[in-house]
Amino acid sequence: GTCAFSTGSAEVDINQRPEATNANQLLTNRGVKSDAFRLSGNDPDSTEIHFVITSISPDLIAGGSTQFCSRPSAPPSTSCIGLYLPSAGLQFCPYCILLCSGGPVCLPCNHATFRCPTGQTAVQNPMIQFTPLALIAGRPVGHVMYRVHDGLQFSAAAAVVPVHVNTRPTAESYLLVPEV
């Protein structure tokens, strides 16, 4: 709402910021398409949020292809219906990428509103997949960063999805017992 005083006025935003959340990582093997990874976010005072990819690390772009599932099945399933495999659009977009039912839309990150084109809707709980090149293996490849937008504002923080090719190595220690 707006408060007016004799010395001026102030606008108060009573909307809560949406929140992008991620508690996992995307794992795969070299040359093999990963399982679908579901992005998550919420906004207590909005019925529709828009998922916006704000960054794909250069190593991820160079090391394989990132796919976006435009029609994911309902949670908790990880199957994709109508996998959308973008060409240069998703991999080389220098801006933010809005995930819509018809595919990704490249927009400047400071765009006034994030809306899908006419006839398309924002994909709720979208999923992404990564297929690394056969020569990439045994190391983290990069990350995908995303935020959610409620039509007015972005989530305060971005969620980061680390992408690893092969499972992370683990260090182990052994107790050596001297021979008697």
Q: Kindly write down the DSSP assignment for every residue of 152-174, as one continuous string.
A: S-B-SS-EEEEEEESPPP-----
Q: Which two tokens stand for residue 130?
A: 């990564």
Average pLDDT over residues 137-159: 81
Nearest CA-CA partner of 81 in 91, 90, 70, 93: 70
Residue-range domain boundaries for the chain:
16-165
CA 72, CA 81: separation in Å to the nearest integer?
6
- Name the CATH topology of 16-165: Immunoglobulin-like (2.60.40)
Which one has a higher pLDDT value, 135 or 84? 135
Which one has a higher pLDDT value, 176 or 122? 122
Q: Cα separations (Å) of 69 from 5, 42, 83, 97, 168?
A: 50, 19, 5, 13, 26
Is 60 exceeded by the pLDDT of residue 10? no
Q: What is the pLDDT of residues 83-122, one digit of tens each?
A: 555 544 445 677 888 888 888 888 888 877 788 899 998 8
Whether 100 contacts 123, CB under 8 Å:
yes
What is the dihedral sign for C-alpha 94, 146, 159, 25? Answer: negative
Per-residue confidence at 170, pLDDT binned at 50, 70, 90?
Answer: low
Q: What is the pLDDT of residues 19-62, one digit of tens each?
A: 777 667 777 877 787 877 888 888 888 778 889 988 888 877 77
CA 80, CA 3: separation in Å to the nearest integer?
48
| pTM greater than the 0.85 cutoff | no
